[in-house]
Amino acid sequence: MKVLIATEKPFAKVAVEGIRKEVEAAGYEVAVLEKYTDKSQLLEAVKNVNAIIIRSDKIDNEVFDAAKELKIVVRAGAGYDNVDLAAATAHDVVVMNTPGQNSNAVAELAFGLLVYAVRNFYNGTAGTELKGKKLGIHAYGNVGRNVARIARGFGMEVYAYDAFCPREAIQSDGTHACASVEELYKVSDIISLHIPATAETKNSINYALLSNMPENGILLNTARKEVINEAEVIKFLGDHPKFKYITDIAPAATAEFAEKFPERYFATPKKMGAQTAEANINAGLAAAKQIVGYFKSGSEKFRVNK
Ligand code: 3PG
């Protein structure tokens, strides 16, 4: 069996070593394709491999067509919107993710970005503090829960809305559960997005929703760029001169955001939420173990395609 690690944005070296150990201990071989710049390199590398470990790497029908021996793809991370699940199923390939393994890293980055935002990008002017502010967590999954935990350490009031998480589960954490997404945006000074990119959520963060927030609100995105209705958020920022948009995923219209709102818009140069040694080790090793478990015992835990 041959397992390919295909990561345009590489794992920490220590995580690659860990994956290699795990895979080789099972008697399998490892191949590595990192920092590739063209899809043709990926199409070449997937020939003759039986499993692939990926991050945000795009795995589409063309990749499945090229990977004739492929049996399983594991997304070392939470969101699997980068994998064409229907194409995977059509090619008889199992797709899994590794939920929760990188969530603390993303949550910690959210606060790194938030402090930067409320201290006016460290430009020397007087900013504000997070203590006492109301933080609205939009989707209360693994990252959302970690954000809530850290927010309490900052002395923030924590609110959440999640269409799929029971109210009691949110409240048992000491987080206020909102009855609707509009209520969450109304009550919060800062919104932290943790929704996946799905048909329902794409473009859902729009002018009308943000209109519920205070004039000096902050929208923080460590989730996906696709959930943002960029044209409407640009208009909203234009109409609300104190509102800030801070993101770990550069928008498609990044030049326009940067040019129009230099003091109220910030994007990390490369998506950094999950980019820690710990998160890479956790997610990478989980992916390796899931592949070995699938081949050795047929375990389909964390399978995301039917
Ligand atoms: C995830 O879905 O797990 C995060 O967005 C991290 O993505 P990355 O592995 O591409 O950094």
DSSP letters of 4-72?
EEEESSPPPHHHHHHHHHHHHHTT-EEEEEES--SHHHHHHHTTT-SEEEESS--B-HHHHHH-TT--E
What span, in angstroms and rounded, lies between the C-alpha atoms of 124 and 117? 12
Q: What is the CA(80)–ligand 1 centre distance, in A?
A: 9
Whether the model clears a pTM of 0.95, i.e. scores above it, the answer is yes
Q: Is 274 near ligand 1, meaning CB less than 6 Å away?
A: yes
Task: Kindly report the backbone phi and psi dihedral angles of residue 165, in degrees, each rounded to the nearest multiple of 5, phi listed first.
Answer: -100, 125
Q: Measured in Å, how far apart are the chain's first and last C-alpha atoms?
A: 23
User: Going by CA atoms, what residue is nearest to atom 3 of ligand 1?
Assistant: 77
Contacts 24+ apart (CB under 8 A), 63-69: 64/88, 64/90, 64/91, 64/93, 65/91, 67/91, 67/93, 69/2
* CA distances (Å), origin 94, targets 47, 164, 257, 263: 17, 25, 39, 45
For residue 147, with 0-12 CB atoms within 10 Å meaning exposed, 13-18 middle and 19 or more buried, which class applies?
buried
DSSP lists the bridge partners of residue 30 as: 3
55 lines ligand 1 (CB under 6 A): yes
Ligand 1 centre to CA of 127 (Å) is: 30
Q: How far is the CA of 83 from the centre of ligand 1 (A)?
A: 13
For a ligand 1 pocket test, name from 35, 56, 98 the mutation site with the most ligand atoms within 8 angstroms of its C-beta. 56
The residue whose CA has the least distance to atom 11 of ligand 1 is 274
Q: With the C-alpha atoms ordered 111, 259, 126, 242, is the resulting torsion angle positive or negative?
A: negative
Measured distance CA(306)–CA(297) in Å, rounded? 19
Q: Give yes or no for residue 271 CB within 6 A of ligand 1.
A: yes
Q: Could you list the pLDDT tens digit for every one of the 306 residues in the chain?
A: 999 999 999 999 999 999 999 999 999 999 999 999 999 999 999 999 999 999 999 999 999 999 999 999 999 999 999 999 999 999 999 999 999 999 999 999 999 999 999 999 999 999 999 999 999 999 999 999 999 999 999 999 999 999 999 999 999 999 999 999 999 999 999 999 999 999 999 999 999 999 999 999 999 999 999 999 999 999 999 999 999 999 999 999 999 999 999 999 999 999 999 999 999 999 999 999 999 999 999 999 999 999
Domains and CATH numbers, the chain: 2-101+275-297 (3.40.50.720), 103-267 (3.40.50.720)
Closest Cα to residue 234, out of 213, 255, 217? 255
Evaluate the CA torsion angle 209, 84, 222, 251 in order and state its sign. Answer: negative
Mutation to probe ligand 1, out of 7, 54, 55, 198 (largest number of atoms < 8 A from CB): 55
> What does DSSP assign to residue 83?
B
